[in-house]
Amino acid sequence: MSAPESVRRRWLTRGVGSVGAASALSDLGHEVPTSLLPAFLTSTLGAPAAALGLIEGVADGVAGAAKLVGGAPADDPERRRRTVVGGYATTAVLSSAIGLATAAWQVGVLRTGAWAARGLRTPSRNALLADLVPPAAYGRAYGFERMMDNLGAIGGPLLALALVATVGIRMAILVSIVPGLLAVGAILVAVREAPRGERRPREPLRIRVRPVLRGTLGRMFVGIGAFEIGNVAATLLVLRATELLEPARGQDRAVQIGIALYAAYNVAATLASLPAGHWLDRTGPLRVLGAGIAAFALAYAGFAASGDEVLVLCALFVLAGVAIGLVETSESAVIAALSPTELRGSAFGLLGAVQSFGNLAASAVAGLLWTLVSPTAAFAYLAAWMLVALGGLALAHR
């Protein structure tokens, strides 16, 4: 059997499957407290709604910074093994411990700690996955991981609903430690499956950004950065749909349809991720990444001009879901393919930071435009950034 044929058939190894299982189980676990956090804070603890925004804003900001910091230990194979296992374990324990909180500040501390651990582990997990497959299978490996992550994100809120109906909010959050600890077991299997490689001299930990931005990879980061500055949180899409639907259908019905559209978005992202990886391994990451960004441009243009037709909105949500499946898979694969082995963790850490802070900037600016001008202006602004990103990719390809 030829080498390419062997890779085609055997890329889904025990190690790759274990990384995917860890992503799915971890998301299944921490999505339970995420889904229940608004009700737990306001109803159970009696905190104001502003507390939720403050806690989530601080936690997301810390997670973004932690991804950049987490690139340093991820550069070293031995450190990345410890970091990824510790990150999964800490996320599971701190997320579930929210169920023990008796005050909003305790929730804030636990949520921020869990998200910091989640951010720290991400570069190590992505670098570990690159250790488990040959470069010819990067697309499928990262597509599979994204698919499993999205499955966990879909299943988490459903598990939360079932647990609340059975044991109540506090106990539901506490029980979420079970899938989290199963994720730790899965990532331990992946760590054991990863090749050890040659021992390297132990170097001091340091954040390395400038070396990552040299050459082709640096040019790719220009396009990726432009995309992330226009990659708004999906909740803004739900808000747009809800506002369009409410005048004719009422608030309750509009909210129900909005939730269903968001589910369609997540299902589309899940279904698109693995085919995106197969496509990427055949043609290279630029085409897949470009196709995803172009799909986002069309989706945002549609949201800017759309009316209240449910089928049209559904098509736009599905298009955006397919787009994020293509982009997330290709972003990870291009980092793995273009970064030097000794800088791979730092490259993934920088990618994570660009994603986090880019999304924050996109949502903040689009929200301001929405309020001060109009929703159409907000989505036109986002679509414009997609065009800038496509231009950046074209320059990187030259």
- The tally of domains found in the chain comes to 2
Q: Does one domain contain both 237 and 120? A: no
pLDDT lower than 50: segments of the chain? 1-3, 7
Residues 6+ apart with CB under 8 A from 210: none
333: buried, middle or exposed (CB in 10 Å: 19+, 13-18, 0-12)?
buried
pLDDT at 255: 84
Is 119 in contact with 352 (CB distance < 8 Å)? yes
Q: Does one domain contain both 119 and 160? A: yes
What's the CA gap between 179 and 31, in Å, rounded?
A: 11
Q: What is the pLDDT of residues 129-163, one digit of tens each?
A: 999 999 999 999 999 999 999 999 899 988 998 99
Domain membership of residue 150 as a residue range? 13-193
Residue type present at position 118: R
Q: Does one domain contain both 188 and 220? A: no
Q: Does one domain contain both 186 and 230? A: no
Q: Does one domain contain both 372 and 258? A: yes
pLDDT at 5: 52
pLDDT at 209: 86
Residue 123 gets the label, from left (phi > 0), alpha (psi -120 to 50) or beta, of alpha
Domain assignment present for 363: yes
pLDDT at 241: 92
Domain assignment present for 242: yes
With a threshold of 0.85, does the pTM exceed it?
yes
Is 196 in contact with 77 (CB distance < 8 Å)? yes
pLDDT at 17: 96
Domain assignment present for 198: no
CATH code of the domain containing 37: 1.20.1250.20
What's the CA gap between 327 and 351, in Å, rounded?
A: 12
pLDDT at 8: 52
Q: Does one domain contain both 290 and 381? A: yes
278: buried, middle or exposed (CB in 10 Å: 19+, 13-18, 0-12)?
middle
What's the CA gap between 154 and 321, in Å, rounded?
A: 13
What's the CA gap between 192 and 195, in Å, rounded?
A: 8
Nearest to 123 by CA among 207, 61, 230: 207
pLDDT at 2: 46
Q: Does one domain contain both 183 and 75? A: yes
Q: What is the pLDDT of residues 65-88, one digit of tens each?
A: 999 999 999 999 999 999 999 999
Q: Does one domain contain both 147 and 228? A: no
